[in-house]
Amino acid sequence: MNTNYDVVVVGGGHAGCEAALAAARLGKKTVMFTLYLDNIGMMSCNPSIGGPGKSHLVAEIDVLGGEIGRHTDKHNLQLKHLNTSKGPAARITRGQADKYHYRVSMKEIIEKTENLDIIQETIDEIITEDGHITGVRSSLGIEYRAKSVVLATGTFLQGRIVIGDVKYPAGRQGESSAEHLSESLKKNGVHMERYQTATPPRIDARSVDFRKMKEMHGEKHPNYFSLFTEKKENSVVPTWLTYTTPKTVEVARELLPHSPIVSGIIETHGPRHCPSLDRKVLNFPDKTDHQIFLELESKESNELYVNGLTTAMPPFAQEKMMKTIAGLEDAKIVRYGYAVEYDYAPAYQLYPSLENKKIKNLYFAGQINGTSGYEEAAAQGFIAGVNAARKVDGKEPVIIDRSEAYLGVLVDDIIHKKTPEPYRVLPSRAEYRLTLRFDNAFMRLMEKAEEIGLVSEERIQYLKSAKEDIYLEVERLKEESVPMVEANKVLEKVGEKQRLNKGVKVSEILKFKKVCYDDLVDVIEINEYPDFVKNQIETMVKYEVFIDRERTQIEKFKRLEGLKISEDFNYSSVRGISNIARDGLEEVRPLSIGEATRISGVTGHDIALLIAAVERNKHN
């Protein structure tokens, strides 16, 4: 039996899958450990992928060579392009995945990937020597040696399921928890805390009265997550919208004493962006019409995910609340909602590569870092897997900063900013939203993809050519002129009310809201570009002023990132900074002034003093 590997990945969820696939595809002998082989790639909660911020992550992972984007495209039940009436920074794709086919197909991909073994086994310990990880030990006492290890353990570290006043060990309903790995990490100096998350009940679709609900469909020709997904007519399995009623809130309020968040059985924090129904009743007592979306989990199943009814109340309470909702009066619950509490390791203990600062060659990804969401987990897993593989070869890690991608925002935030609940990527967290659009991930990250080496040379060259076409065409539109009469004909044709009083550059016509690239055919020879190229040309012209403004801000950001701080810098030597700032700097130990500016509690005054101290230290 082979027990020697380049990379060990612990966990078979979305972080573990991306980490294992990345490492193996980079040529490293890799093994993935999972508690249950048939649940590799399992969607434990909502069957959706994408949405605000999250769709950006999926597109970025796809451009870099990850799996989640094309996999969702292939196994979706519906896709929607959202916020189309808003600016390009807000436009996103959201998909409903077929949970069964997503999971089964992901397992098949992993089984067929060269250099990748999978083993159903619990990992109880990490093995370290002189501050380096050298392997892991399973519950059966088998030692597996490795040059790098990625921990992607999800909610399984000392997981505890809570339903009403019942609490028992499990990482997911029906699956055992990992009881010993947390202690091994603590013994090796890793600080651990606890979070919780929850999921709503599932019901039998045959017991639902859909006539009382609004049916909602996806798009037959959507914007896919991956640029390379074949553009064919998409499936349009519907979802349904209903609402809670005053009776729902009345019943929920009566049952609050049975809520584990009220009784104190749950003491840990859950994701604020996904509150339970009991939490909604507590926080918004006057609101009675909370949205409830019913989402089919798979074409192979009658199970419906009741989105908006998250709760860990006891079964009788869940039944009673359900019967007050329009269309769900006779609904049969097939899986009760529950909460799960679990251990995580706050991510300030990591470098931007996701390597642990105390234990070399040990990487953390996903919910073990205090994050929430499939997309966040997949993004971290991809970066951790790539860097674990590169560490084996002695290469520098791939670091993506917050000016380059939402992926960079995610990693930067969890390392530098403390949050009282599981972290979720949101557009509001990104300073450079217009630069970090969902539709331009290929332009932002093409060079990183080439550096990583998981995308074929053919695709890299195709994207490079597309990027060059975009920039050349934008410049051409800025240079070529159009007489006033011809320009106004275009504006009249598309329904613009404003008229020009002089001839202009072609780009000035395209800046009008209703004018598209193809509308320029009447005044200039246009090229037969793919739609994604045309979209970039339009956006770069229409939003040029705002994009340039962000570019200036990014240049300032880059300058601060370039002011490096040595890893052993003595922060106690910096006179005048606050104790809060000093504690934060000592805890995180930033590698640049830019990083230091984003640590909680560090002020502009502290940064000015720190810059002076760092400069003095260099001269000395």
Whole-angstrom distance, CA of residue 496 vs CA of residue 119:
62
Annotated ligand binding at 132? The verdict is no
Q: Name the pairing type of β-strands 481-482 and 193-199.
A: unpaired
In contact, 504 and 479? CB cutoff 8 Å: no
CB 366 within 8 A of CB 412: no
What residue has token string 């027990």?
3
The amino acid present at 73, given as its one-letter code, is D
Query: Is 221 among the annotated ligand-binding positions?
Result: no
Evaluate the CA torsion angle 331, 332, 333, 334 in order and state its sign.
negative
Residue 583 neighbours by CB distance under 10 Å: 15
> Does 281 appear as a known binding residue?
yes
Q: In b/e form, how buried is each residue of 140-151, taking b as 16+ CB within 10 angstroms?
A: eeeebebbbbbb
| CA 263 vs CA 168, 267, 313, 403: distances in Å | 17, 9, 10, 44
DSSP 202: E
Does 278 count as an annotated binding residue?
yes
- 395 marked as binding residue: no
Please indicate if the annotation marks 10 as binding a ligand. no
- Spell out the SS3 assignment of 272-312: CCCCCHHHHHHHCCCCCCCEEEEEECCCCCCEEEEECCCCC
275 marked ligand binding residue: yes
Strands 123-129 and 239-243: unpaired
Is 279 annotated as a binding-site member? yes
Is 181 assigned a ligand-binding role in the annotation? no
Ligand-binding annotation for 14, yes or no, is: yes
Q: Is 277 annotated as a binding residue?
A: yes
The bridge status of strand 166-169 relative to strand 160-163 is antiparallel
Which residue matches tokens 């934060």?
584
Cα–Cα distance for residue pair 450/438, rounded to 1 Å: 20
The reply, when asked if residue 159 is annotated as ligand binding, is no
* Rounded Cα gap, residues 395 and 565, in angstroms: 21
Neighbours of 514 (CB within 10 A): 12
Q: Has 145 been labeled as part of a binding site?
A: no
- Taking Cα atoms as reference points, which of 346, 313, 11 lies closest to residue 155? 11
Q: Which residue has the tokens 């969607």?
A: 43
Q: How many CB atoms lie within 10 A of CB 55?
A: 28
Q: Is residue 337 marked as binding?
A: no
* Tokens standing for residue 30: 């890799």
Cα 578 from Cα 185, distance rounded (Å): 32
In whole angstroms, what is the distance from residue 293 CA to residue 259 CA? 22
> Residue 422 annotated as binding?
no
**Binding site annotation covers 269?**
no
Residue 513, sorted as left (phi over 0), alpha (psi -120 to 50) or beta, turns out to be alpha
506 is in an annotated binding site: no
d(CA 239, CA 241): 7
Q: Which residues are annotated as a binding site for FAD?
A: 11-16
User: Which residues are annotated binding-site positions?
Assistant: 11-16, 270-284
Binding-site residue positions for NAD(+): 270-284
